[in-house]
Amino acid sequence: QVQLVESGGGTVQAGGSLRISCIASGRTFSSHSMGWFRQAPGKEREFVAFISYKGGRTDYTDSVKGRFTISRDNAKNLVFLQMDSLKPEDTALYYCAARRGATIDRAYAYDYWGQGTQVTVSS
């Protein structure tokens, strides 16, 4: 069992930066692939980024490539999403998710989810 808690969300002006974090409980964190997803009001949850269990493989949705960076610290059970050059369209509730097995950009494949942290980008 893995429990996830996100933090670090807030309101930032367009062009600004924010780093959100997710801390996981349990001793098996380092064996889980991790993902970040987001959901804006009235829209479906969408993939943002994933990172493999050792951190050697990452990928991003096209709209955030070059602006967002996912990373993890297995010693501290943490995964991060550094968000730079933020745009109003990045406004959403951001979720951290975990799964055993290979990285994947599909929400249905993830077994554990946090409650989300709100990111609001003002224009």
**Better-predicted residue by pLDDT, 30 or 77:** 77
Of the candidates 112, 103, 121, 2, the one whose C-alpha atom is nearest the C-alpha of residue 48 is 103
Mean pLDDT of 25-39: 92
Closest CA to 74 of 119, 32, 20: 32
* Size of the chain in residues: 123
pLDDT score at 46? 97
Give pLDDT tens digits for 75-114: 999 999 999 999 999 999 999 999 998 889 999 999 999 9
CA distances from 16 to 56, 67, 88 (A): 27, 11, 11
Residue 73 vs residue 27, higher pLDDT: 73
Q: Is 120 exposed, middle or buried (0-12, 13-18, 19+ CB in 10 A)?
A: middle
